[in-house]
Amino acid sequence: MNMATTPFQQGPPQTVRRLAVEVVDARNLLPKDGQGSSSPYVVADFDGQRKRTTTRFKELNPVWNELLEFIVSDPDNMEFEELEVEVYNDKKFGNGSGRKNHFLGRVKLYGTQFSGRGEEALVYYTLEKKSVFSWIRGEIGLKIYYYDELLQQDEQQQQQQDQPSQPPPEEERHGGGAEQERNNHSHRHPMMVEEGRVFQVEQMEHCVPLPDGPPSPRVVVMEESPSPVVRVQQDPPLPEMYAQPEPEMQYHHHHPEVRKMQTMRNDRVKIMKRPNGNGNGDYAPKDISGKKPNGESERIHPYDLVEPMQYLFVRIVKVRGLNPPTESPFVKVRTSSHYVRSKPASFRPNEPNDSPEWNQVFALGYSKTDATGATLEISVWDSPTEQFLGGVCFDLSDVPIRDSPDSPLAPQWYRLEGGAAEQNAVRVSGDIQLSVWIGTQSDDAFPEAWSSDAPYVAHTRSKVYQSPKLWYLRVTVMEAQDLNLTPNLPPLTAPEIRVKVQLGFQSQRTRRGSMNHHSMSFHWHEDLLFVAGEPLEDSMVLLVEDRTTKEAALLGHVVIPLTSIEQRIDDRHVPAKWFPLEGGSYCGRVHLRLCLEGGYHVLDEAAHVCSDFRPTAKSLWKPPVGILELGILGARGLLPMKSKGPGKGSTDSYCVAKYGKKWVRTRTVTDSFDPRWNEQYTWQVYDPCTVLTVGVFDNWRMFADVAEEKPDCRIGKIRIRVSTLESNKIYTSSYPLLVLTRNGLKKMGEIELAVRFACHGFFPDTCAVYQQPLLPKMHYIRPLGVAQQEALRGAATKMVAQWLARSEPPMGHEVVRYMLDADSHAWSMRKSKANWFRIVAVLAWAVGLAKWLDDIRRWKNPVTTVLLHILYLVLVWYPDLIVPTGFLYVVLIGIWYYRFRPKIPAGMDTRLSQAEAVDPDELDEEFDTMPSSKPPDLVRVRYDRLRMLAARVQTVLGDFATQGERVQALVSWRDPRATKLFIGVCLVIAVILYSVPPKMVAVALGFYYLRHPMFRNPMPPASLNFFRRLPSLSDRLM
């Protein structure tokens, strides 16, 4: 049906999105006109539209400053569009020898890299080749942004008149989609991927197919969008994170009943476990992909990584004509196995008390076997008097089933009925509006449904969180002038002037300034780095202090809002400014260079377990290379974490997963040692060499309000490196939840996960990621120190914890610190041993090769030794075969080890962590606070032990230095006799090598090295004795 708007009908205002590409300049282009120069121009191609700039005559560093605008035909899918910018040399200004314009380079950008108007920045992109044989150099500076523009009425009518002449966009899209479907030979339904949800649809308009390979569903990636910020009037108190590390969690501080139940339950779990052939025994992950869920559903479930769980949904909307009217009615929902109570009713202004409203949804566990012959009772009661006001009953076998893609079920009015044995004088009357249906966890109403009777049910729901956008603030303190210094200083005493900069809880101070006696100014030229988070509402405070005397004197201060500081995404120069000091009539001025660095990645995790390496500036992001899907199935055999009564414990567990800036939190399953969550989430993967972290916690906040602030207890966590996952393969595994406490290693249960990385293994973009730097460009141009980066990471961790604590429900700071490994830099004897054994394991191959050669030399296996002699002769006689033979040997080793590849992603390794046989005193030291809270005698014992360990390290370092100094002593004439002897031997060797063919020398040396033990002296060789006698500098140490 073709509909058009008449002149008497005015539709809503229409907007058109425009993409603006401002071509600023280019640098260091390649001369290709045959005269040592080029006459470049730029061609931009976007969405079938092609535009070009003017030509700059004979200029290798051209400046255009021209704006090219394009119309975005489909703004909703702009992120999938590609902008191609190419630079050419105009042949009209050359020597006339070329028949076409020479190619000077190109840049390909995607819609995810575009910014809105007002957020754009000048970015220099390196020009890329068109083919392998192209010779390209230089870079081009572009400003790219988009904006929406209102169409005038005549333009709208013109577009509507022109619309019938053009093919409908839906037909084009469906036609293109069918062609893609034929090219991919795929007959499956397309799969829609959103943040946190995956569902199948019958037909999709815009689809981006995965690369050629095995048939796979088409995937549409929706851009990550930050979750809305819920602001409260008063933030919950947050403990200081830079102070002493928090004490060990409540595992060993529980009531004795809880510890006893944990011990008993742990023994029961160990008895029930089946033996495992892995070396780690009960601490090794297991493959559970063969397990089938109980009672498989006949329908196709939209979550393909988790098991479908059926729930009985009850939506209570409102009541009308309630008799008798009451001020605080509530609703009871009861089945044979569940009983829940609604929240207090609300009333509209100026409405009578007979029309209360709830607008509340309940999700109750449902099973087909238990539903046979069961009924659902929904009744209305008066809160103060517990008087029955009416109710309705439903047969569960007649409740309809709603599938996820369907629209919400419309609520209906039902007549309230009284009980059969009702003795009330007042007749029950009124209608209740509600809807009842059976659905799964993919239902739209499930995230906000009430499925728990906890006092604060908001703390039990599943939520998705977003970390704040963090920037590095660089403050360069350069100079201060006209300061009011302290008079009457002692002679020959220079004033000690320092600058202190504060940003929120962060504070840094410069070194002592150098004084210029001619101008009476002070110079520092020192960089200070801070972490700033969006929204940039804070202000930076700069204090100039005179610390010449014992008491610091304030000479002036400056308050600078962060919104006034310039942002940059590269290493371009930012001009410095003079700021007047406040605090009196005239206190002087200070010279500062301020900028917000958008080209860095602000680390909030440890570098070796980082989940994201993207810079702060969105314009520098690369397109995603895949999608990571996580199905949190459930947990088994959890230990009791709290006491419910004498001899009875309970666990109210929930799961948290973190990857990139996105945090997910499952719902809390109350009072269960074997919780089943069955929730599925997705993330966009920009770099496969990243780590996904999943943790399990026991919920305490659902029993306390904000003022009490009960921290949640940790149950355990695991990490999964995305690069270890094969493409498009589902891993369904069970991982042990391990916690290291002061009493040793404890297994708290097991967690079951399903993971899939949707990406083709040989996709060009994925392979190109391995060739790019791990961190953004600014980390290599202006690198940060290790100590500086660790301090900034601590500040970033605290800012993320403060941000997530302001969400609803809040995520506790103890959860954030545990997931981000905030205490990974703390000293631990156990970790030091683990790192030492890691080094030993890395060098084990060299030790094994040395032992194998020693066995060959000793002729322990004569056949192998003879074969090695023959191989050695072949390689000496044909030396050109050495390099290809070495690479072929590496290939064979890789093929051989393919059979031993890990079948499932590895979890926590207890042997590698040295956690199985750790000394209790070392564990107690690891969990000690900073500064130590132990008795002085114990601290002295640990200090002496640390001194003994340091003495061993000192000896090893001295041995390494000695060997290097002996090598230097060969020609340094420190020992004249040894140097003469060494030079003489080198002369003899040179004469022999000049006169004897090198192949004969190599054969002689090889056979001499592999000679039989009967021809070998057991004493050390003369060359080793000579080297050990060389002098070192150790005799000069005091």
pLDDT (tens digit, 9 = 90+) per residue, 571-619? Answer: 999 999 999 999 878 888 999 999 999 999 999 998 889 999 999 999 9
d(CA 307, CA 160): 49
Q: For 118, left (φ over 0), alpha (ψ -120 to 50), or beta?
A: left
Burial of 1005 (0-12, 13-18, 19+ CB in 10 A): exposed
**Which DSSP helix (H) or strand (E) runs through 852?**
helix 844-857
CA distance 641 to 630: 26
Q: Where are the beta strands (DSSP E) in 372-453?
A: 375-382, 388-395, 412-415, 429-440
User: How does the average pLDDT of the chain come out, rounded?
Assistant: 80
pLDDT at residue 1035 above 50?
A: yes
Judged against a pLDDT cut of 50, whether residue 2 lies above it is answered with no
Give the distance from CA 783 to its chain's centroid. Answer: 21
Contact 735, 753 (CB under 8 A): yes
DSSP states along 854-915: HHHHTTSSHHHHHHHHHHHHHHHH-GGGHHHHHHHHHHHHHHHHGGG--SS-----TTTTT-
CA 283 to CA 303: how far, in whole Å? 29
CB of 339 closer than 8 Å to CB of 447: no
Strands (E), 425-496: 429-440, 463-466, 470-481
Instruction: Please report which confidence band the pLDDT of residue 66 belongs to, taking 50, 70 and 90 as the band edges.
Output: very high
Is the pLDDT assigned to residue 133 strictly greater than 80?
Answer: no
Give the span between the Cα atoms of 755 and 722, in whole angstroms.
9
Residue 160 in this model has a pLDDT that exceeds 60: no
| DSSP letter assigned to residue 91 | G
CA 630 to chain CA centroid, nearest Å = 14
Distance CA 813, CA 384 (A): 39
| Residue that is written with structure tokens 């109980």 in the block | 294
CB 799 within 8 A of CB 468: yes
Residues in the chain: 1038
Radius of gyration of the chain (CA): 36
- Cβ count within 10 A of residue 828: 20
Closest CA to 499 of 559, 547, 534: 547
**Chain centroid, CA 374 distance in Å:** 47
> pLDDT tens-digit profile of 347-406?
888 777 778 888 889 888 888 777 777 888 999 988 888 888 888 998 888 888 887 777
Residue 646 has pLDDT above 80, yes or no: no
Amino acid in the structure at residue 572: R
- Of 82-86, 169-173, 962-966, give the lowest mean pLDDT range: 169-173
Q: Report whether 338 contacts 447 (CB < 8 A).
A: no
Q: What pLDDT band is residue 423 in, cutting at 50, 70 and 90?
A: very low
pTM of the model: 0.72
Residue 164, pLDDT above cutoff 60:
no
Give 880-920 pLDDT, tens digit per residue. 888 888 899 899 999 998 888 888 888 888 888 888 878 88
Q: Which of 183-187, 471-475, 497-501, 1021-1025 has the lowest mean pLDDT?
A: 183-187
The span from the CA of 472 to the CA of 528, in Å, is 10
Q: Which helix (H) or strand (E) holds 942?
A: helix 936-968
And the tokens for 322?
């309630």
Do 354 and 323 touch, CB atoms closer than 8 A?
yes
User: Exposed/middle/buried for 944, CB within 10 Å: 0-12, 13-18, 19+?
Assistant: exposed
**Which amino acid, residue 1037?**
L
Give the model confidence (pLDDT) of 97-129 as tens digits.
556 788 899 999 988 889 888 888 889 999 988
CB atoms within 10 A of CB 22: 17
Whole-number Å distance between alpha carbons of 738 and 251: 12
Instruction: Please give the domain boundaries of the chain with CATH numbers for all domains.
Output: 15-150 (2.60.40.150), 310-440 (2.60.40.150), 470-486+494-597 (2.60.40.150), 607-825 (2.60.40.150), 832-1028 (no CATH)
Q: Which two tokens stand for residue 842?
A: 């890395």
H/E element, 42: strand 40-46
Contact 640, 650 (CB under 8 A): yes
- CA 193, CA 211: separation in Å to the nearest integer? 17
Cis peptide before 400 (omega within 30 of 0): no
**Do β-strands 470-481 and 463-466 pair in parallel, antiparallel, or remain unpaired?**
unpaired
Whether the CB-CB separation of 734 and 286 falls below 8 Å is answered with yes
pLDDT at 6 (0 to 100): 38
Average pLDDT over residues 1012-1024: 83
3-state SS string over 304-338? CCCCCCEEEEEEEEEEEEEECCCCCEEEEEECCCC
CA angle in degrees (0–180, nearest 5) for 130-135-140 = 70
Contact yes or no for 1004/1011 (Cβ under 8 A):
no
- C-beta separation of 441 from 676 below 8 A: no
Q: What span, in angstroms and rounded, lies between the C-alpha atoms of 570 and 139?
A: 14
Q: Which residues pair with 559 in a beta bridge?
A: 541
pLDDT band at 1011 (very low <50, low <70, confident <90, very high): confident
DSSP for 956-1011, written as a single string: HHHHHHHHHHHHHTTTS-SSHHHHHHHHHHHHHHHHHHHHS-HHHHHHHHHHHHT-
pLDDT digits (tens, 9 = 90+) for 769-810: 888 899 999 999 999 998 899 999 999 999 999 999 988 888
Instruction: For residues 583 and 586, give the distance between their C-alpha atoms in angstroms, rounded to a whole number.
Output: 8
Strands 653-659 and 691-698: antiparallel
Give the helix ranges, DSSP H, for 735-784: 764-769, 778-781
Whole-number pLDDT of residue 163: 46
Q: Give the least confident one: 136-150, 283-297, 927-941.
A: 283-297
Q: State the sign of the Cα–Cα–Cα–Cα dihedral 620, 758, 815, 925.
A: negative
Query: For 262-299, what is each residue's pLDDT tens digit?
Result: 554 444 333 333 334 344 557 788 888 766 444 444 44
Token pair 């928090």 is at which residue? Answer: 246
Give residues with Cβ within 8 angstroms of 176, minimum separation 6. none
